[in-house]
Chains A and B, each alone.
Chain A
Amino acid sequence: MNIKRFVQKHAYLLEVLGILVVMTILGVAFRDSLGLVNLALLHLIPILLIAVSGNVRLTMVIAILCIVIFNFLYIPPLYTFKIYDYAHIWSLFIFILFGYVIARQAKNLQLKYRESQMREVLLDIVSHDLKTPLSSIYGSASLLVDEKKLPKETQEHLYREILKTSIGMKKLITNLLDNSRLKDGTAKPNLEWCDFNDIIVVAIEELSLEYDTDFIDIKIAYPYLFWGDNALLVRLFFNLLDNALKYSNEGEHIVCKVDEAEGGVKIVIINSCKSQCEQKVDRMFERFYRHKEDQDISGAGLGLAICRNIVKIHHGKINASWENETLSIEVLLPVSQKVVIV
């Protein structure tokens, strides 16, 4: 099992190593007729192939491997690591330089590609999920400005609509910003001592702008501080509870528990959810995944994907399960050090 995973993970590297072996065999077989220049070019192929993957360190390893092989097999005196001609030392140096330059270029290109991909996705959401609330705000506001004689209740309704929709927009923008920060891979967690009670206080306060949060039963049985990223953990609780509030049947209680678990801390969020939850349990942490029955529920499918990334940054695990019309999301965060709250 482990070997299989290793092979899958390093498939590209193994392929390149294979090519290197083939090149070496070809080189040895036709050594006399090819000449040093062509042999060198032959050995640049594997370096080039690994360099385009953008991994500078691996490229250096392969380049050095090529140098060793090249020196041992082709540079006279053969089958020794001795070099007499200075020009040959230069060729070896150029091997490394070649690999380095290409790998750096490839890395830059990859970053740019990833950025452009991200931008495209962002544009997608902006056009879909920001346009809808914006048109609602626009419509309500222009109606209020143009029609002065609207009945009081209608006016009140429109005002509330504007307020509600803008809160939703604020949430979506926050999520988008968090997501791009987490997703670019360069985001480093800002680790500090965190109190789960304090984190939940912030999440609940933010949620109560939009929902009645009295239905959330909170039980914290973890009398320690946790070493983590406070801001990200607030986003974790906010998104998990936001999701629970959005999808649960109205008026039913949501449970949020924080407990001590083996080697760490366990967070469980439980809410009622009809059968539509069963079908999406496996995919709900994917970015932009929305179940087709959820069209009437606002959101871009970002919240739980962000949760997964936050848990990943803390080296934890997140899982969802559905049973008896109840959805429970379980987060396990490993703990290496803790401070007791007295």
Chain B
Amino acid sequence: MNPLATVLIIEDDIAVQRLLTIALQEYQFKTIVCGTKEEALKVFKLYPIDLVLLDLGLPDDDGKTVIQFVRKISSSPIIILSARDHENEIVQCLNLGADDYITKPFSTKELLARLQANFRRSAQPQDMELTMLECGDIKLDLSARSVLFHEQFVKLAPKEYKLFEYLMRNINCTLSHQQILKQVWGIGYQNEMQYLRTHINVLRNKFETDPTRPIYIKTIHGIGYRLECCS
């Protein structure tokens, strides 16, 4: 993780602003706080920003326009802050190019874990041709299209492999149901939830010691899935 990274906090609630600033500065991040969309866009043009923390309920405009703006000029990770029952909105944001989200109320521990995961991912070389992806005890060989778990070869059906590869390529990233369905099954399959549900169930049975308490394939309730890797 980059200890001198600059985080742009776009949040209109002063108490939450303060909490975020204290927590992030404690962990050596530089922070810039904006209360409105207008301000945020100005700041984003002036300073190099490494990560954006965006609250959806801004007073002057919908936060989603900020995502569109940022995505046009930069690939810095965007993490959404949102209330629990705004699942549709979160999904829309992920589809627009946000990288992750966290719901209020959250613990600072959760927030930092999410920040670090997103920094790690954005620090990875994007264009370089990868041949091997790793996550805990799982190794995926992209050229051989094979997966090893605890050094044992795991047999996967073609669609299972395609789904798993997509998850492995987006380690620690929250992917919406629609994103996954579109990428793995193709355009027109965005609402065919039954495919995704059954394949996730099968993958869990192959990679999780206890499928009801998964450590790799996490369900992000109402949003999608995330492949989690700690190391």
Residues of A bordering B, CB below 8 Å: 163, 166, 170, 174, 177, 192-195, 197-198, 200-202, 204-205, 213, 218, 220, 225, 230-231, 234, 339-342
Contact = CB atoms under 8 A, between A and B. Distances in A.
Sorting the interface of chain B by its residue count into under 10, 10 to 19, 20 to 34 or 35 or more gives 20 to 34
Contacts of A339: 194, 198
A177 B83 CA distance: 12
A202 B221 contact: yes
A197 to B, nearest CB: 6
Given A231-B221, A231-B222, A195 B212 contact: no
Contacts of B200: 195, 198
A174 B84 contact: yes
A213 B213 CA distance: 10
B188 interface: no
A204 B221 CA distance: 12
B212 A204 contact: yes
Nearest to A209: B107
Contacts of B57: none
B194 A197 contact: no
A197 B211 contact: yes
B183 to A, nearest CB: 19
Nearest to B157: A342
Contact of B219 (A193, A202, A220): A202
Nearest to B194: A193
Q: Which of A195, A204, A218 has most B Cβ within 10 Å? A: A195
B41 interface: no
A341 B84 contact: no
B64 interface: no
B105 A201 contact: no
Contacts, number: 55
A300 B204 CA distance: 36
B212 A225 contact: no
Interface of B: 84-85, 87, 105, 107, 193-194, 197-198, 200-202, 204, 211-214, 218-219, 221-222
11 contacts: A166-B105, A194-B197, A195-B200, A195-B201, A197-B201, A198-B197, A201-B213, A201-B218, A220-B212, A231-B222, A341-B198
Given A231-B221, A234-B221, A225 B213 contact: no
Q: Which of B84, B211, B221 has most A Cβ within 10 Å? A: B221
Given A174-B84, A201-B211, 4 more contacts: A192-B193, A198-B219, A202-B221, A341-B201
A170 B212 contact: no
B198 A195 contact: yes
Contacts of B222: 230-231
Q: Which of B201, B202, B222 has most A Cβ within 10 Å? A: B201
B85 to A, nearest CB: 7
Given A174-B84, A177-B85, A342-B202, A201 B219 contact: yes
Contact of B204 (A177, A197, A213, A230): A197
Contacts of B194: 193, 225, 339
B129 to A, nearest CB: 33
Contacts of A174: 84
A192 B195 CA distance: 12
A336 B227 CA distance: 33
A195 B105 contact: no
A193 B214 CA distance: 20
A175 to B, nearest CB: 12
A320 B87 CA distance: 33
B224 to A, nearest CB: 11
Nearest to A174: B84
Nearest to A217: B212
Contacts of B197: 193-195, 198, 225, 341
B198 A342 contact: yes
Contacts of A192: 193
Contacts of B218: 201, 205
A105 to B, nearest CB: 32
A205 B213 CA distance: 8
Nearest to A214: B213
A265 B201 CA distance: 18
Nearest to A213: B213
A253 to B, nearest CB: 15
Nearest to A198: B219
A306 to B, nearest CB: 15
A85 B200 CA distance: 73
A193 B211 CA distance: 19
A170 B105 contact: yes
